[in-house]
Structure 1
Amino acid sequence: MQLIGPFSQILPLAGLPDKGPIRDEALQVIADGGALISDGTVVFDDYAKLKKANPSARLELVDEPQVLIPGFIDAHTHICFAGNRSRDYAMRIAGKSYLDIARAGGGIWDSVTKTREATVTELAENTVARANRHLQNGVTTIEVKSGYGLNAEDELKMLRAIRTAGLHTQATLIPTCLAAHMRPKDFDGDERAYLHWIINELLPLVKAEQLANRIDIFIEETAFSVEAARAFLPKTGMQITVHADQFSSGGAQVAVEMHALSADHLEASKEEDIRRLAASNTVAVVLPGASLGLGMHYAPARKLLNAGASVAIASDWNPGSAPMGDLLMQAAVLSAAEKLSTAEVLAGLTFRAAKALGMAMPAADLQAYPCKDHRDILYYQGSMKPVAVWKGGNRITIS
């Protein structure tokens, strides 16, 4: 048993709603608080009270002003990849279109080519390095997608690399099979034939090795159609998430119909899509990093919340549209643009993100910021980083 504190403030983020708006007044703020950790559970209360009631607890003293909050959960990333797409980015900011970049050899296929060339060891090392950077920044649980392999050998290689990476980082990695990222150029058949191949050839191998229990599909004019996705998803026998409404509408509707855990992106969602998501248990995962990287508008987070949806915020960290990977900065910038309360942002980075992954909040994953007032965390727009991170109650160290 250990007692950490005293903290200037502790925000447990408990007792808040899973869906809809949250006013800052609903936040529980414990002043001069302590965190009592035992066997992976945590109790937050007045530090002096906890110390008196638990005289045998091992003390971890905090002698500078700090604010303690739960660890963040990034519910949408692509951090298992090789190479980068800086050429794509330079072309994009110079005014080239998506098709111009693809014709020049860029886009997702460029990352597929580089990832296919990498070894499983190289991919695992890349994933560990990115996961550890996230962990240092307070992100203790990270969803990681495949989707740059797009054949049996390389999709399995990616998922094995994610599993290996999970053994070499203190962050929790949640694997997702995104073989339905795009129809590969070297596949001899149409979209339905490719999705049929995923179901009948790839997924049995994924399940046999227990590499993932989550499936994702990119529903878009340049990827897979609404009709093909509707036929594909029920046959996978896996937890469902969907790349939805990034450039055109339709994906969110499929996500709701399929009872998906989440619908991610939503920049192009229409009013009826917002209403459907709000009436469902599907979490709306917004990805401000992609909007920043592509120079496009944000997902309608404010409208989604006002309608009653559950909104999580994720980084979409990937080599193409969202290479930055700074979750807190992206969330802070989104909050200013979409007028999200501090409570809504913190909810979207913690327990609502956990809901998007179908998991409970890890009780003793915590992070502390060097300030007296929790409002400073978003005020500095991501430039303030945590000074301490705990995973399962253990303070993490990263060399």
Structure 2
Amino acid sequence: MSPVEMMERVDKMAANRLWNGFDMRRIPVAVFDGTSTWLFGHDKPGDRFHPIDGRPDTYLYEGLHDSVRGNSVAVVNGVETATVMLDGIAGDDVSVAASVVVHEMFHVFQSARYAERGGNLVHMYDYPVEDVRQLQLRRLETEAVSRALRAADGAISRKWCAEALKIRRRRYDGLPPEYVEFERATERHEGLAHYIEIRSLGRHTVELPEAEFAPDAVRKRCYPIGCAFALLLDRFAENWSERFAGRHSDLDGLLASVVDAEADPDIGFGPEETDRALRQAENDISDLLRKRRETKRSFYDRTGFLIELRFGEALRLTAMDPSNVHTVGESEVRHSRFVRLEAGTDRIEMTDGDALTESAGKHPLFAGICAVAFFAADEPVIERKSGMIAADHPGLRIRLSESRVTESVVRKIGTNHF
């Protein structure tokens, strides 16, 4: 599958009206195919991109362009652009790949139309994932949403919607407001983009896993839940997207305004289902803590090399891939794809690798990073010259002033680190 084939499929999808005012043909896209970065539909590509003969509005840059670091949105020569990495798309179905492009294009539209950026990631990494009661209610809420989607009878679907929203109100009563807003903002941002992605494929439902989601998969859950709310709004509120007002429109609030089902004794969860959800929450939180220990251990328990750096003055986390970040302790986070650390002219960027960061403060990521370790399969070389520490290794670039670094070690590792 080539970027050209994928974008030709996007052009066909653009014929369908998916959202009021959303015109895919007006949104530029950058695609990295593993060798080069392709740029489509950009009015000001700049000198670094070269035109492709016979393909107007298509440009090529040899290598990975600085702006492309994942399936996301980036500014390319002053213009917000949807970005996609082909190796980040599972399978070789052209339509599925094109729907991922549409998802990212919708984010560009959301930014321009609603100034919407999604939930504050600060709250993703200190979310109270070990709260058993919260997880129990979340599981019941998800199941109620799933039953609302599956119900062929409109009245039954409406009643399960009302039940899901009732459980959510109980859950949110015990959740600090910053986490409530994180969920709602992520549902608006990622949930709606997931909805557009599914609609671009001609689908009108979304699957919610029977086992629900891991306790810490809060952001991941917001994609299908936000999508489910949008699909349910399609059932009960015609042309609702025309009344959507971005940050002033929570999807669950919009759904509550059109779902006025009366109480039904046959709708809801009995003691057996409620107790089962509680036991499952307790077990899953225990499993989460165990998996965190294993995720940290597996970073060290392999053959290769570690670059270990410790800083007298912390670096700031300025970019990462939220879908490939794993908390492994109160102050340690594992990054399994992309991370960027900066302060002044000092900079570390890992574009394809595996790293473990240590926080300098209470928040695991956003209180500064005091130490970082990078794994390398082959022995890396660190150079010290003119007061600088530098390394250029596949997927990793380091430029640091020696005065910031209190410890820099390259060491070989095997198994049984602990």
TM-score (norm 1): 0.26
Structure label with greater radius of gyration: 2
